[in-house]
Structure 1
Amino acid sequence: MPRYQPADSLASPRFVGVRTFARLPCIQTTEDVDVAVVGLPFDTGATFKVGARFGPEAIRSASVLLRPYNPELDVHVFTTLSCIDYGDAPVVPGFIQESHAAITTTLRPLAEARVVPLCLGGDHSVALPELRALAAVHGPLALVQFDSHGDLWDSYYGGQKYTHGTPFRRAVEEGLILPERSVQLGMRGPLYGREDLQMARDMGFTVLTTTELLRRSPQEIGDLVRARVSGSPAFLSFDIDFFDPAYAPGTGTPEVGGPTSFQGLAYLRACTGVDWVGGDVVEVLPALDHGQITAQLAAQVGYEFLSLVALERRGS
């Protein structure tokens, strides 16, 4: 059996104990660890509504309902993987580049030990320091991004280069990701111009709007992702605003007309056969949530990512 597993919810109530993801042990180690859940409680990169710094706490709280076996993917996650909750990165509220440096410093030892980090945001700017830590070890990565926004803008507000709308532009410039092996899924909503979508395609990304996405089956999307990633180490970045706000109201920049929770999870589950070296779930803003429905959905997204990693480890 893997060394680190969740508390047994058949032996102790779910409301008992300190909140960790899926009731995993909270420990900072890389020994005998396959996956480490890391909180990135930072939202100074947000350009509209703030409060995603409390996202990791909310996701952890909602995750107590997760169980070890995933029937959709037929994998027993926590008897396949040794998983821990690594705690939070020591961010510096109000200071973007200092916080990004702290996040990279926190994640780098995990990457070097070949531990897969599942990061809980936080605003989407945290993807940049995540990618810096992972690419330093694995080389440039394929990006699979579920989102309603491309986050490829160059700058905001008089030249500010580091916000939650710019992380993947910076990642391309820094050589952290391979656009020609990357996919953006779920783009929608009003834009500043036609060029906003076209610039991603010009960089080499495969881009599917929500309309284009929903015309395809999950199996077709899984085939597309596998063909696009093409054997490269891959990073999953899942912005909770990928979902329609009816299913995920607790987020700072919602876009109406999105996939249901059922549809979105089906697309994610189809992304098997990928060498995942890291992933995140970001932009959960608990103050705007209702009855934890956004937090529960984010916890499920994290669980599905763990399931995909477990499938790969079981197969290898």
Structure 2
Amino acid sequence: MNETFHQPVDAAKVPRFAGHATFMRLPAIASAEGLDIALVGIPWDGGTTNRAGARHGPREVRNYSSLMRSTHHVFKTEPFKIANIADVGDVAVNPIDLLNGLELIEAGIADIVAKGALPLSIGGDHLTTLPVLRAVAKAAPVGLIHFDAHSDTNDTYFGNNHYTHGTPFRRAIEEGLLDPHRVVQIGIRGSIYSPDEHNWAQAQRIRIIYIEEFLARGAEAVMAEARDIVGDEPTYVTFDIDSIDPSMAPGTGTPEIGGFTTREAQQLVRLLDGLTLVGADVVEVSPPFDLGGMTSIVGATIMFELLCVMARQVERRRG
């Protein structure tokens, strides 16, 4: 073990309900300098079209992440011993000016990337992924594995509004941030605005795997295809909490029944192991709509699963 790596507070010495609330009970630091993975909050929901509240997601996920322990029970990975990880706080946001809010989020993530750390962020609505991609894909387009109930490739809302949580991946492709031939969307379901709603995405050759196909084929087959599509090239992972059925994650802005179980979600994330990830996020946790912290604990657990995959990547890179 490298003694310079940050370590979480030991719950056997300081109870989980005590001390400062940080992601995974890690130190809160001001800079990503020297980190391998930077855990960061994006408390912003300026792209929400209906039920606001995801701006409160990072704070509650921090709280519930105190329930995470130090070792992954399947991988036997101890992420805090193989990678230097800390909570770098929240990026600056502007809850009033949408475009300025996007600029501030991009700048905050770009600072993390410039310091050589992989960003693992908690949102915030799904529009937050657009400025994150602007930061991580500045040099070249990346691939995307996208877990969600919704494709989020619509064009406009309410007349001429191009920036909502239903449009980020259309904008990302238009801006050259994503290689659409290396984009996979898994778990898509629910009623849509029109029969041709997904035509644009499919015309870009985005691979959309609807929930019915996922259920018919299973996680291993679906993720084998997803891995083939993104290959060994740089890839970003975005996990919308509404990909999970609202019976298990009710605290979200746009719930859709018929989603993943939490067990299926864990399996899907574990099958990312070995890919070349440039960052990841968990979005759309909305505590005002939660019940007993159910969704926040799911968000914290998916964050830990992603963290373990990313830490294993760091270890391989070092090795």
Whether these two folds match at TM > 0.5 is yes
Q: Indicate if the aligned counterparts of 2:32 and 2:88 stay in contact, CA closer than 8 A.
A: no
**Equivalent position SS for 2:181:** helix
- Cα 1:99/1:210, change in 2 over 3 Å: same
Q: Indicate if the aligned counterparts of 2:188 and 2:210 stay in contact, CA closer than 8 A.
A: yes
CA distance in 2, matches of 1:253, 1:222: 25
Q: Indicate if the aligned counterparts of 1:35 and 1:118 stay in contact, CA closer than 8 A.
A: yes
Match of 1:239 in 2: 240
CA distance in 1, matches of 2:222, 2:77: 21
Letter in 2 for 1:274: L
How do 1:60-99 residues align onto structure 2 when only pairs under 5 Å count? 60-99=62-101
Match of 1:157 in 2: 158
CA distance in 2, matches of 1:90, 1:315: 32
For residues 7-55 of structure 1, the C-alpha deviation after alignment (integer angstroms, 9 at most, x for no partner) is 1212211111111100011002233211111111111210010011100
**Equivalent position SS for 1:196:** coil
CA distance in 2, matches of 1:163, 1:235: 20
Q: CA deviation at 1:74?
A: 2.6
Match of 2:115 in 1: 113
Q: Indicate if the aligned counterparts of 1:222 and 1:272 stay in contact, CA closer than 8 A.
A: no
Detail structure 1 runs of 4+ shifted over 4 Å in the superposition: none
CA distance in 2, matches of 1:197, 1:170: 15
CA distance in 1, matches of 2:33, 2:160: 43
Match of 1:30 in 2: 32
**Equivalent position SS for 2:75:** coil
Match of 2:46 in 1: 44
CA distance in 2, matches of 1:94, 1:70: 40
How do 1:219-238 residues align onto structure 2 when only pairs under 5 Å count? 219-238=220-239
Match of 1:209 in 2: 210
TM-score, structure 1 normalization: 0.97
Q: CA deviation at 1:265?
A: 1.3
Q: CA deviation at 1:199?
A: 2.3
How do 1:1-40 residues align onto structure 2 when only pairs under 5 Å count? 1=2, 2-40=4-42
Letter in 1 for 2:87: D
Are 1:283 and 2:284 counterparts?
Answer: yes
**Equivalent position SS for 2:39:** strand
Gaps of 5+ in 1: none
CA distance in 1, matches of 2:11, 2:67: 9
CA distance in 1, matches of 2:132, 2:271: 24
Q: CA deviation at 1:291?
A: 1.1
Are 1:200 and 2:201 counterparts?
Answer: yes
Q: CA deviation at 1:195?
A: 1.7
Letter in 2 for 1:292: G
Q: Indicate if the aligned counterparts of 1:221 and 1:271 stay in contact, CA closer than 8 A.
A: no
TM-score, structure 2 normalization: 0.96
Match of 1:126 in 2: 128
Match of 2:265 in 1: 264
Gaps of 5+ in 2: none
Q: Indicate if the aligned counterparts of 1:27 and 1:84 stay in contact, CA closer than 8 A.
A: yes
**Equivalent position SS for 1:153:** coil
Q: CA deviation at 1:73?
A: 2.4
Q: CA deviation at 1:194?
A: 2.5
**Equivalent position SS for 1:178:** strand
For residues 46-83 of structure 1, the C-alpha deviation after alignment (integer angstroms, 9 at most, x for no partner) is 00100111000011111000011101223111111111
Letter in 1 for 2:154: W
Q: Indicate if the aligned counterparts of 1:226 and 1:273 stay in contact, CA closer than 8 A.
A: no
CA distance in 2, matches of 1:119, 1:25: 16
CA distance in 2, matches of 1:195, 1:308: 36
Letter in 1 for 2:136: L
CA distance in 1, matches of 2:163, 2:184: 22
CA distance in 1, matches of 2:242, 2:34: 34
Does 161-170 or 7-16 show the bigger shift?
Answer: 7-16
CA distance in 2, matches of 1:92, 1:3: 33
CA RMSD of aligned residues (A): 1.2
CA distance in 2, matches of 1:96, 1:265: 33
Match of 2:249 in 1: 248
For residues 226-283 of structure 1, the C-alpha deviation after alignment (integer angstroms, 9 at most, x for no partner) is 2111122111111100001001000010001111111111111111111111111111
Give the % identical residues: 39
CA distance in 1, matches of 2:285, 2:189: 19
**Number of residue pairs the alignment of both structures matches:** 315
